[in-house]
Amino acid sequence: MGWERYFDAATAAPPHPVARQALTAALADGWVDPGRLYAPARRARQLLDAARGSVAESLGVRADEVTFAASGTAAAHAAVLGVLKARRRAGDLVVHSAIEHSAVLHAAAGTGAHEVPVDRLGRLDLAAWEAAVRAPGVALAALISASHEVGTVQPVATAARACAAAGVPLYVDAAQSVGRMPVPEGWSLLTASARKWGGPAGVGVLVVRKGTRWESPYPEDEREPARDLPAIVAAAAALRAVRAEEAAEAARLRPLVDRVRATVAATVPDVEVVGDPVERLPHLVTFSCLYVDGEALLHALDRRGFAVSSGSSCTSSTLRPSHVLEAMGVLSHGNVRVSLHRETTGAQVDRFLADLPGIVADLRAEAGVTGL
C-alpha cells in the first residue's frame, strides 16, 4: 500500500489488516444508530458492546470503565475536564509534567496548574512530582506514559504511588504506548487514540476506573459520540491484534531504532539524538541537527520519498520550537522524529540512513555553513 518510506507512525500508524477487515464487515449493521430500539439498532448496539468489551479486555479493565470519544484529543479533554468538574470542591490545581501533549495542556489551561520539570533525557523529576501532588488544592495529576516527541518512558507506577498517598487521581495519556508496550499500572484515568495503533482515525478511548470521581463535561447527547460505529469496531479489532503482536514487534523494531540512533550520531556532524536511550518506546527516535532549518530538512526528506515529521507532533504545521524539547533543554532546531511501524523493514531504514548525511550537508552548504 505504499508504506515503503513512511516513518511517521507516531502520528498515525498504517491501517492494520485486521482493522480493514473489521471495518468492511461492520458496515453491514454498524451504520444504524445503536441508541434506537428497533431490531437493526439492537444489532448495532451489540456491535458497540462487543467493541467495548474487546477494548476493555485488551487494556485489562472493566467494560463499564471504557468510553469511546471522537478522537484522542477529545478523550484527553474529557479526562481532564471531567475530573475538574467532579472534584471542584477539592480545588482546581492540575499537576502535570512539562512534556504533556498540547491537548492536555489546553484542557488544563483555564485552571491553576503546576508544571513539574524533566531532565535532559525527558525523565520526570520524581521528587518535584511528589512534592507537587501533596500541595493543597490539587484536583488532578497528569502524566504522559511515554513522550510522543522523543519516546522517553515515564515512571508511571512510581508517580501513581505518590498520587495515591496524596489522594489525587492520576490521569495517564497513553496514546503513544498503547499497543507498543504493556499498559502501565496505578492510574485512575487513561486515554488512547486508535490511529496510533493502526485503527481508524476519529476514535479515542477514555478509561475511568471505578471509584474515580469524574463527570462528563459534555451535554448528555454528546457523552459518547458513537456516530462512526464501524470505525469503533475496527479500532477494537486492531487493538486486540497489536496487543497480541506487541512483544514481537517491539523486539523487531528496537534494533532498527538503535541502528538509527547510532548511525545518525556517527555520520551526521553536529547532531543531537534526544531522549532516554534505555527507557524509551521501541519504535521512535528524534534527533536535532544544528545549522539546519527544520522546515527545509523535512521538505528535502519528502522530496527523497521519506515521510517523517518534526519532533513536535502538535506544532508540525507551524514548526514552532517544541515545548517538549525546550523543557528538556536540548536542541529544538532542525529536529526530525522517525517512528517505525509493523511494515517497516531494515532495508528501508538503511536507505534513509544512507541518504540523510548528504541531505543535511547540502542544506548546510546552501545556508553557507561548511567545514563541520
Average pLDDT value for residue range 8-28? 96
Q: What per-residue confidence (pLDDT) applies to 367?
A: 86
pTM exceeding the 0.85 threshold for the entire prediction: yes
Domain boundary among 242, 257, 286: 242
Q: C-alpha grid cell for residue 134?
A: 501533596
Average pLDDT over residues 248-263: 98
Q: Tell me if 10 is assigned to some domain.
A: no
CATH number of the domain encompassing residue 110? 3.40.640.10
Mean pLDDT, rounded, for 212-221: 82
223 pLDDT exceeds 70? no
Q: At 320, is the pLDDT very low, low, confident or very high (cuts 50, 70, 90)?
A: low
φ, ψ of residue 287 to 5 degrees: the values are: -140, 155
Report the 10 Å Cβ neighbour count for 220.
7
Average pLDDT of the residues in 318-337: 84
Smallest CA-to-CA distance from 124 within 101, 94, 144 is with 144
CB atoms within 10 A of CB 251: 10
Whether residues 172 and 75 fall in one domain: yes
Query: Is 64 part of any domain?
Result: yes
Q: How confident is the model at residue 314 (pLDDT cuts 50, 70, 90)?
A: very low
Q: Give the pLDDT confidence score for residue 226 in this predicted structure.
A: 53
> With contact defined as beta carbons under 8 Å apart, do 9 and 195 qualify?
no
With 0-12 / 13-18 / 19 or more C-beta atoms within 10 angstroms meaning exposed / middle / buried, residue 228 is buried
Domain range for 88 is: 17-242
237 and 270 fall within a common domain: no
Are both 182 and 312 inside the same structural domain? no
Q: How far apart are CA 132 and CA 288, in angstroms?
A: 31
Inside any domain, residue 361: yes
| Active centre residues (catalytic) | 314
Supply the pLDDT for residue 217. 86
Phi-psi region of 202 (alpha: psi -120 to 50; beta: other; left: phi over 0): left
Residue after which a domain boundary falls, among 242, 262, 278: 242
- pLDDT category, 316, cuts 50, 70, 90? very low
Q: Are 73 and 210 contained in the same domain?
A: yes
* Same-domain pairing of 255 and 235: no
Question: Are 238 and 250 within one domain?
Answer: no
Pick the closest to residue 332 from 310, 300, 356, 314 (CA basis).
310
Average pLDDT, the chain: 92
Question: Do 85 and 232 belong to one domain?
Answer: yes
CATH code where residue 293 lies:
3.90.1150.10
| pLDDT for residue 315 | 44
Last residue of a domain, one of 194, 215, 242: 242
Question: Is the distance from CB of 198 to CB of 179 less than 8 angstroms?
Answer: yes
Q: How many domains does the chain have?
A: 2
Considering the domain architecture, whether residues 190 and 305 belong to the same structural domain is answered as: no
- The pLDDT confidence band at residue 3, using thresholds 50, 70 and 90, is low
Is 231 found in the same domain as 331? no
Please give the DSSP secondary-structure letter assigned to residue 291.
T
Q: What share of the chain is helix, strand, coil (3-state, %, to 5)?
A: 40, 15, 40
At residue 136, does pLDDT exceed 90?
A: yes
**At 305, is the pLDDT very low, low, confident or very high (cuts 50, 70, 90)?**
very high
Q: Over the stretch 82-115, which tens digit does the pLDDT of each residue have? A: 999 998 877 789 999 999 999 999 998 877 889 9
Q: pLDDT tens across 224-240, in order?
A: 655 799 999 999 999 99
Q: What is the pLDDT of residue 53?
A: 98
Same domain, 257 and 237: no
pLDDT score for 321: 73
According to DSSP H, which parts of the chain are helical? Answer: 17-26, 39-59, 72-86, 102-107, 126-133, 156-166, 229-267, 294-303, 323-328, 346-366
Does position 313 have pLDDT exceeding 80, yes or no? no
Residue 8: inside a domain: no
**Residue 3 belongs to some domain of the structure:** no
- Does residue 221 have a pLDDT over 60? no
pLDDT over 90 at 8, yes or no: yes
Q: Grid coordinates in use for 349?
A: 531504514
pLDDT at position 218 is 78
Average pLDDT over residues 164-176: 97
Rounded Cα–Cα distance for residues 231 and 236 (Å): 9
Q: What is the mean pLDDT of residues 294-319?
A: 78
Let me know whether 238 and 354 are in one domain: no
Percentage of the chain surpassing pLDDT 70? 94
Same domain, 134 and 271: no
pLDDT at 224: 63
